[in-house]
Amino acid sequence: MLYGEPINLIREVKVMPPKTAKSKKPKDLRHPITYKRESGKFDVEWYKGLDKTNWVLPKILKEQAKKLGKKPFLQFGSKKPLSFYQTNQLANKIANGLIELGIEKGDKVAVYMPNSDDYVITWFGILKRGAVMVPINTAYVMDFLEYIIDSSDTKVLFIAEEYLDRMPPIAKKLKKLEHVIVWTRDGGVKYDKHGYNFKKMTPYSKFIGAQKSSEPDVEVTFMDFARLMYTSGTTGRSKGVVRPCSADYSSARNYAEIMDVGPDDVCFTCLPLFHSNAMVMTVYPALIKGAKAVVEEKYSASRFWKWMVEYGVTKFNIVGTVSYFMWNTPAVPEEKQHKVKLVLGSPAPHDIIEDFMKRFNIKFMEGYGLTEIGQCTWMRPGEPFRVGSCGKEAPGYEIRIGDPETDEEVPIGGIGEIIVRPRTPNVMLHQYYKMPEKTVQDFRNFWFHTGDAGRMDKQGYIYFVDRVKDYIRRRGENISSFEVEKIVGSYPDVEESGAIGVKSEGGRYAEDELMIVVVPKKGKKIDPVKLMKFLERRMPVFMIPRFIRFEKSLPKTGTQRVQKNKLRDKGITKDTWDSVKAGYKIKK
C-alpha cells in the first residue's frame, strides 16, 4: 500500500480554522537583521548545484586534516585540544581496528559512552570504516538497552567501564554481539568487569593503540548510511532512524550557514553526544567550517558562563528547560564577560526572550526539528525573529500544515499537522530500520508526518502548537507513553495506566513533566514510593514519572482507546502524588 493509512492516535487534535477575532500582532525582534555576519551573505538555496559526492564526513575530515593540519579542532573540557590532523589520525586507528575485527561496510557499531573527545573520535572512526554508528542513550538500562543493541544488529559495542554493571542481566539475549571495547576514564587497560564476562572484551586504549593511523582503504559515499538513531515510538517500540551521510551533512551545513560559523569560531556543547544536537549541530559544523569544537560532559549551572569565558566560546545551543535553569541561576560576572555571539534555542524562551538576551548579552536564533528529518525550520538571517514562532522553512525543506485526516493543506493560520518533504534528495531519513510499514505510514502521500500540530502565518513563519502523536518531551528526550505504560503495567497491582505530559513550572516554553495515571487492580492499594522503586530499576532516569495520580478507571473512546486529552485536562489534582514535594530521590 503506497500511501499508508492515517495514524489513528493523532485524531485528538482537530483541524482548527484561522481565528476570526482580531488577534494580537506577533512581536518581531530585529537582531537577525542587525547582526553583522562574518561569513558572507546567507543564501537560503546554498545547496543548489552543489556536488553531493563531498557531503561525506570521512572525506571532509581527511581534507581538513590535510588543509588545516595542526590547527586546534577538538577539545574536551580543559584538556589540550586535538588538531585536525591528530583527530583524523586517531579516527583512522578506530577504522583500521574495526577492519581488523572483521567489521564490514554497513555493519552496525554501537557507542554507549559519556561525552568525551574519545566519543567523537570513535564516531568519526566508525564512519571512516564505512560502518553505521548506533549511539545509545546513557540513561538506558535493562529492556531498553537490550532492545537497542539487539534490534540494531550491533556487532561491536564501545562501552564505558561505568556502564558494564548494566550488561549481565541482558547479556544472554544479545546473540549478535561479537566484540566489546571497554573505555575507561583514566585511559588505562585495567577495568572492573562488574560481572560481565563477555568472551571478546578489549580495553579501548589497547584497541586504538595497536592500530595503524594510515587512511583505511574504504570508499564512503553520500548515500551510505551514517547513523542509526533510536527515537521514541508511539504505538510501539522505539524506531531506528537510518540517516545517510548526506543528511547529516545537510543538517550540519544548515547550522553553519544560519549560525554564521567561520574558522575563528568556537562551538560549544554540553549536550549528550548520543543526540543529533551535539553531533551534527556543534561538532560537525565546526569540522566543515574549520572552527574549534569544545565538548563538556554535561551542563553545570554554576560553571557554564565560566566555561564560556575560559574557552572563548562564540556559539552554543540550548534545549528545553535549560534556558530557564540559566535564568533562575544567580548572576555571575562571567555572564557579561564572554564572547558568545549567537545561541540556538530549541525552543528559545519566548516569554522572557528579550530580558534573557539583555541579561546574558546574547542573541537567539531558533529552529524546530526531529531526529528523522533534522532541523527543518530556522529563524533566517536578515529577517525578523518572530516571537512565538520556530522560524521558516530551513534550506532544503518544504513544509505544509496538513489536515491530519486527509493531508490536504489547511488555510493560512489554521491548525493542522506539520508535514515535511525535501526540496533536494537525501537530506532526511531513508527508512526506519526493519520497520517498512512504519516507514510507509509516516511518509504517506509523500510527506513526512512529524506528529506535531502547528500553524503557518502569511509570511511563512511556522508555530509549534502541540504534540499530536502520543509522546512526551522531557529533559531533552522524547518519551514514548507506550513504553512507560508497558513498564508501569508490569507492576503486580496495576490494572492499567496512562502516561501524559504536564507542563513544568520552568516556563511557558519549557518542556513537560511526566505523569502516570494509574488504575489499581480491584481490592489493591498502591504505595507510590514502592511503585517508584520498581520503575527506577527498569527505566531510564528521564522516563521515571514525577507525578502519580490514582483513578478508578480511565476515560476511553468507543473503540477502547484511552482519551489522553481528558487525562491532561484534569492535570495535577490535590491528591496527585508529587515525587519532588514528597522528597523522593532517584538514584542516578
Where are the extended beta strands (E) located within 327-403? Answer: 342-346, 363-370, 374-378, 385-386, 392-393, 397-402
For 541, other C-beta atoms within 10 Å of its C-beta total: 15
The C-alpha cell 476570526 sits at 20
Kindly state the cell numbers that stand for 335.
555572564
Between the alpha carbon of residue 125 and those of residues 94, 121, 150, the distances in Å are 5, 6, 22
**From the candidate CATH numbers 3.10.105.10, 3.10.20.30, 3.40.50.12780, 3.40.50.720, the one assigned to the domain spanning 28-47+234-467:** 3.40.50.12780
Element (H, E) at 146: helix 142-151
The 8-class DSSP code of residue 10 comes to G
Whole-angstrom distance, CA of residue 183 vs CA of residue 162 = 9
Do residues 349 and 356 lie in contact, with contact meaning Cβ atoms separated by under 8 Å? yes
pTM exceeding the 0.75 threshold for the entire prediction = yes
CATH number of 57-220: 3.40.50.12780
Do residues 399 and 462 lie in contact, with contact meaning Cβ atoms separated by under 8 Å? yes
What local confidence, expressed as pLDDT, does residue 36 receive? 95
What local confidence, expressed as pLDDT, does residue 420 receive? 98
What local confidence, expressed as pLDDT, does residue 511 receive? 66
What local confidence, expressed as pLDDT, does residue 20 receive? 44
For 249, other C-beta atoms within 10 Å of its C-beta total: 26
The 8-class DSSP code of residue 351 comes to G
pLDDT profile of the chain (588 residues), mean per 10: 32 51 76 95 96 97 98 98 98 98 98 98 98 96 94 98 97 97 97 96 97 97 98 75 98 98 98 96 98 97 97 94 89 97 93 95 96 97 97 98 93 94 98 96 95 93 79 69 85 91 66 89 94 91 92 76 82 92 86
Element (H, E) at 501: strand 494-503
What local confidence, expressed as pLDDT, does residue 504 receive? 64
In terms of C-beta distances under 8 Å and separation of at least 24 residues, what long-range contacts does 491-496 make, across chains too? 491/526, 491/531, 491/534, 491/535, 493/520, 493/521, 493/524, 493/525, 493/526, 494/518, 494/519, 494/520, 494/521, 494/526, 494/531, 495/519, 495/520, 495/521, 495/522, 496/554
The 8-class DSSP code of residue 492 comes to T
Whole-angstrom distance, CA of residue 303 vs CA of residue 299 = 8
3-state secondary structure of 396: coil
What local confidence, expressed as pLDDT, does residue 150 receive? 98
Task: Please enumerate in sequence order all residues whose Cβ is within 8 A of that of 235, keeping only pairs 6 or more positions apart, or say none.
Answer: 7, 9, 470, 482
**From the candidate CATH numbers 3.30.300.30, 3.40.50.970, 1.10.10.10, 3.40.718.10, the one assigned to the domain spanning 473-578:** 3.30.300.30
Do residues 457 and 412 lie in contact, with contact meaning Cβ atoms separated by under 8 Å? yes
Do residues 540 and 144 lie in contact, with contact meaning Cβ atoms separated by under 8 Å? yes
- The domain ranges of the chain are 28-47+234-467, 57-220, 473-578
Where are the extended beta strands (E) located within 222-284? Answer: 225-231, 239-244, 266-269
Taking Cα atoms as reference points, which of 241, 280, 253 lies closest to residue 124? 280
> What φ, ψ does residue 167 adopt, rounded to 5°?
-85, -40
Between the alpha carbon of residue 292 and those of residues 62, 87, 260, 299, the distances in Å are 16, 12, 14, 19
What local confidence, expressed as pLDDT, does residue 467 receive? 67
Do residues 200 and 221 lie in contact, with contact meaning Cβ atoms separated by under 8 Å? no
Determine if residue 320 is left, alpha or beta; phi over 0 gives left, psi from -120 to 50 gives alpha, anything else beta.
left
User: SS3 for 55-105, per residue?
Assistant: CCHHHHHHHHHHHHCCCEEEEECCCCCEEHHHHHHHHHHHHHHHHHCCCCC
Q: Would the CATH topology of 57-220 be identical to that of 473-578?
A: no
